[in-house]
Structure 1
Amino acid sequence: MVYCPYNKEHKMLRKKLQQHILKCRVIYKDTVELMVCPFNSSHLIPEPQFFQHTQSCEDRNIIVHYQTSAPAVLSEDTRHAKIESEENWDDDESVPDYDPQVYCSRANIVREPNGLFPAQRRAFIEQEKRRHFGEDYEEEKKPRKAKARADLRPTPYEHRRPYSRRQ
């Protein structure tokens, strides 16, 4: 458990500290002035104690150790001879650049009309059907559904003819 640098009564798990600091920083921004440790951003220290903290910070040891340690020595096993080659793929201009849209339009791939307006979507779907099934593809027109009996009844606000058996 760790304590909040803004209010020592706030106690939390270490993994929640950064999230909590963001909240407390807003609440205590005018009353408490804290400086951020250069070795660990979760260390917030009052200005009078800042110099002392930078000299004795636990995370300082990591940085000092890295700065003072000798660079890694490469052994003969890890060194490789430079490989020379006559081939340069950048100079080959006969190969066209790869265009995924062109490839998908030619290959047998199902594409979806993402981000298109309804009219564009219908045209795209029609074009895709022709691409997959051939240019002479014609979609069968579906007959319109007959209106249900309930739809043939007049609504309460329509004028009704008087019903009579004699007609």
Structure 2
Amino acid sequence: MSALEKKTQEVLLNWVKCPFDEDHRILPTRLVIHLNRCARNHSGLKMVRCPFDITHVLKVNEMEGHVAICPSRKKDEMPICFEELPELKRQQQVETSDTTWDDEPVVATYDPQLYCAANPVVRMLRGANATERHQFREQERARFRAFREAAEAAPGKEDKKKEEK
């Protein structure tokens, strides 16, 4: 056997057969991608994926037997049959508190529109005609001009600029 034939056999041994089409040979690193594509092309086949390893694709009637002996299944995993599950004893915890929410002061709800109008936040007008958008942009320019003037007139701002120079 030549070196080329040996190398070809090694490569073929590492490849995996596609469960949808046995003529397909795939590298194990590309198997998940191939299975997704091949499943779309063979949507007529009734195949399901193993809950423990998505690369295990089997016919529906074979899956129950596979799940019981799947090598990817953890040994210490809980049993699958609901009859075998132990009954859980749930303890009901009742939380008690001396605080009543009715005694707390009334607080106004948060209104993002009011917050944005009172702070230098860029706002957008949606669903308006051209005239309304133009008026809104003019109002926004005036609003930002007022914020800029208030910031420049704030005490201490000029002192900082002089110190930087």
Q: Please, what TM-score do these two structures have when normalized by structure 2?
A: 0.52
Other-structure match for 2:57: 44
Query: Which of 14, 17, 20 is equivalent to 1:6?
Result: 20
User: Where do residues 99-114 of structure 1 align in structure 2 (5 Å cutoff)?
Assistant: 99-107=111-119, 109-113=120-124
Query: Which of 4, 19, 39 is equivalent to 1:25?
Result: 39
The CA distance in 1 between the partners of 2:143 and 2:60, in whole Å, is 71
How many Å apart are 1:131 and its aligned residue? Answer: 2.5
Other-structure match for 2:5: none
The CA distance in 1 between the partners of 2:70 and 2:125, in whole Å, is 54
Other-structure match for 1:75: none
**Does the alignment pair 1:53 with 2:66?**
yes
CA 1:35–1:106: 2 relative to 1, 3 Å: closer
The CA distance in 2 between the partners of 1:120 and 1:47, in whole Å, is 61
Unaligned ranges ≥5, structure 1: 69-81, 135-167
Residue-by-residue CA offset, 1:97-151 (whole Å, 9 max, x unaligned): 11111111012x14142545543321111111232345xxxxxxxxxxxxxxxxx
In the alignment, is the contact (CA less than 8 A) between 2:46 and 2:60 conserved in 1? yes
CA 1:12–1:92: 2 relative to 1, 3 Å: farther
In the alignment, is the contact (CA less than 8 A) between 2:125 and 2:136 conserved in 1? no
The CA distance in 1 between the partners of 2:36 and 2:42, in whole Å, is 10
Other-structure match for 1:66: 77
Percentage of identical aligned residues: 25
Amino acid of the residue matched to residue 25 of structure 2? Answer: H
Q: Matched residue pairs, number?
A: 116
How many Å apart are 1:13 and its aligned residue? Answer: 4.2
The CA distance in 2 between the partners of 1:92 and 1:124, in whole Å, is 39
Query: What CA RMSD, in Å, does the superposition of the two structures yield over aligned residues?
Result: 3.4
Amino acid of the residue matched to residue 138 of structure 2? Answer: E
How many Å apart are 1:43 and its aligned residue? Answer: 1.7
CA 1:3–1:128: 2 relative to 1, 3 Å: same
Greater helix proportion: 2
Amino acid of the residue matched to residue 127 of structure 1? Answer: Q
Amino acid of the residue matched to residue 59 of structure 1? Answer: S
Q: Please, what TM-score do these two structures have when normalized by structure 1?
A: 0.51
CA 1:37–1:86: 2 relative to 1, 3 Å: same
How many Å apart are 1:42 and its aligned residue? Answer: 3.4
Q: Which moved more, 1:92-101 or 1:113-122?
A: 113-122
